[in-house]
């Protein structure tokens, strides 16, 4: 863990680490698992500060509609990482979103 990061950021990173290879979750799912759906933007900001893969697999977090969202190394790199893990991406969207999504309940309970 990085000593200079806030408790909130650490909690976001810890939840992100629970997303296994071949699965994705959403900024909103992480926010809800943290206790407030309004934290979604703060979750994105926390992931922007992450040390990245493999320490924090922030490439596994996408928008609630299945679209890829941002990535500090660029969308092409995020898509490449997701595809390498078996995620189907078409037109910047996770095609098999409903079958590979880890929900807030699953994040909070694991």
pLDDT digits (tens, 9 = 90+) for 58-103: 999 999 999 999 888 899 999 999 999 999 999 999 999 999 999 9
The residue from 31, 43, 56, 58 that is catalytic is: 58
List Cβ neighbours of 91 (8 Å cut-off, separation of 6 or more): none
What local confidence, expressed as pLDDT, does residue 5 receive? 66
For each of the domains in the chain, give its residue range(s) and CATH number, in order of start. Answer: 7-109 (1.10.10.10)
Q: pLDDT for 20-42, tens place per residue?
A: 999 999 999 999 999 999 999 99
Q: Specify whether 16 is catalytic.
A: no
Q: Single out the residue of 56, 58, 53, 65 nearest to residue 28, CA to CA.
A: 65
């Amino acid at each position: 863990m990085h000593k200079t990061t806030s408790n909130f950021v650490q909690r976001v990173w810890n939840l992100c680490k629970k997303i296994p290879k071949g699965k994705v979750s959403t900024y909103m799912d992480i926010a809800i698992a943290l206790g407030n759906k309004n934290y979604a933007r703060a979750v994105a900001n926390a992931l922007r500060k992450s040390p990245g893969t493999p320490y924090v697999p922030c490439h596994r977090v996408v928008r609630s509609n299945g679209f890829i969202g941002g990535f500090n190394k660029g969308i092409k790199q995020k898509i490449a990482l997701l595809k390498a893990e078996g995620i189907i991406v078409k037109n910047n969207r996770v095609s098999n979103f409903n079958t590979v999504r880890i929900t807030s309940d699953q994040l909070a309970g694991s």
